[in-house]
């Protein structure tokens, strides 16, 4: 989404005199906030963002600062029914790409998804069959069935936190797999009368753009997606050039980012 080459239309305007495509963005996480949002904001002659959807309100609020005219949604089905939307751009975790893309096609939307389109050959074949059915006008519309997607993080964290608090030996800190989970854990702790970090410390992973805006600001582990992508590309190119290149694991450095959600001192951490 960063680099798209578009030629001038026959009338000399970027879109050849046609109105910009009406876009809905599903998933407003790190990838969108750091990459796609900037690209779309610089291409308003081509694309007009009319709908934004994410389960987290802080992410919706941040995106709305750039796309103030967009409708904001928490539920996928609600956004799918937005009659202004022509194109659905999916920026969700990879496991959801296939199912949500199929839903977009069934709603009659042009659909773009980040890679991978699917994790399996059967899933990719299903997607191809759906695309062929769309072209033939044979794909029937049906509502998106969210299953675990809309509620997985929110409900599972809300259910797990009370169980943690009831442990015979209660932990002094919770380390979450990503910052999004940590934010939901912070809300669940607050709902159970637990203060962060006075009663219990909380640490996330990723250092996404929302991490420092929570109250208290979220302590996290910052990873560099640019470094990860570069390392993967270098390994891939080496394999293309020399098929006998030894396979090896690559460790990409991370950084511990201390903020207000941590009370305890980490072993080896330098005092300020």
pLDDT at residue 189, rounded to an integer: 94
pLDDT at residue 140, rounded to an integer: 64
- Between CA 211 and CA 186 the distance in angstroms is 12
pLDDT at residue 148, rounded to an integer: 40
* Backbone conformation region of residue 114, classed left if phi is above 0, alpha if psi is from -120 to 50, else beta: beta
pLDDT at residue 149, rounded to an integer: 42
Helix pair angle (97-106, 121-135), 10° resolution: 10
pLDDT at residue 11, rounded to an integer: 42
Alpha-helix runs per DSSP H in the chain: 30-31, 37-41, 57-66, 76-80, 97-106, 121-135, 152-165, 179-191, 225-241
Q: What is the dihedral of CA 97, 98, 103, 109, to 10 degrees?
A: 70
State which residues of the chain have pLDDT below 50: 1-15, 144, 146-152
Handedness of CA 259, 265, 270, 272 (dihedral sign): positive
pLDDT at residue 13, rounded to an integer: 44
């Amino acid at each position: 989404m960063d680099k798209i080459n578009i030629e001038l239309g026959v009338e000399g305007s970027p879109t050849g005199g046609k109105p910009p495509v009406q876009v809905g963005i599903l998933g407003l996480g790190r990838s969108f906030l750091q990459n796609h949002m900037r690209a779309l904001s610089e291409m308003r002659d081509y694309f007009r963002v009319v709908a934004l959807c994410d389960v987290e309100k802080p992410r919706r609020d941040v995106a709305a600062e750039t796309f103030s005219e967009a409708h904001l949604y928490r539920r996928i089905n609600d956004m799918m029914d937005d009659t202004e939307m022509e194109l659905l751009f999916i920026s969700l975790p990879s496991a959801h790409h296939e199912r949500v893309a199929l839903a977009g096609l069934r709603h009659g939307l042009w659909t773009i998804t980040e890679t991978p389109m699917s994790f399996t050959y059967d899933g990719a074949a299903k997607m191809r069959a759906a695309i062929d059915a769309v072209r033939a006008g044979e794909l029937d519309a049906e509502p998106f069935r969210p299953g675990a997607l809309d509620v997985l993080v929110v409900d599972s964290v809300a259910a797990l936190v009370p169980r943690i608090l009831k442990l015979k030996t209660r932990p002094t800190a919770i380390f979450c797999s990503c910052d999004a989970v940590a934010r939901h854990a912070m809300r669940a702790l607050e709902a159970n009368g637990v203060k962060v970090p006075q009663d219990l410390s909380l640490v996330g992973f990723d250092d996404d753009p929302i991490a420092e805006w929570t109250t208290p600001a979220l302590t996290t582990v910052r990873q560099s997606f640019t470094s990860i992508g570069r390392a993967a590309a270098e390994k891939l190119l080496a394999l293309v050039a020399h098929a006998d290149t030894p396979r090896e694991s690559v460790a990409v450095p991370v950084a511990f980012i201390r903020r207000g959600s941590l009370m305890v001192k980490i072993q080896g951490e330098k005092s300020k």
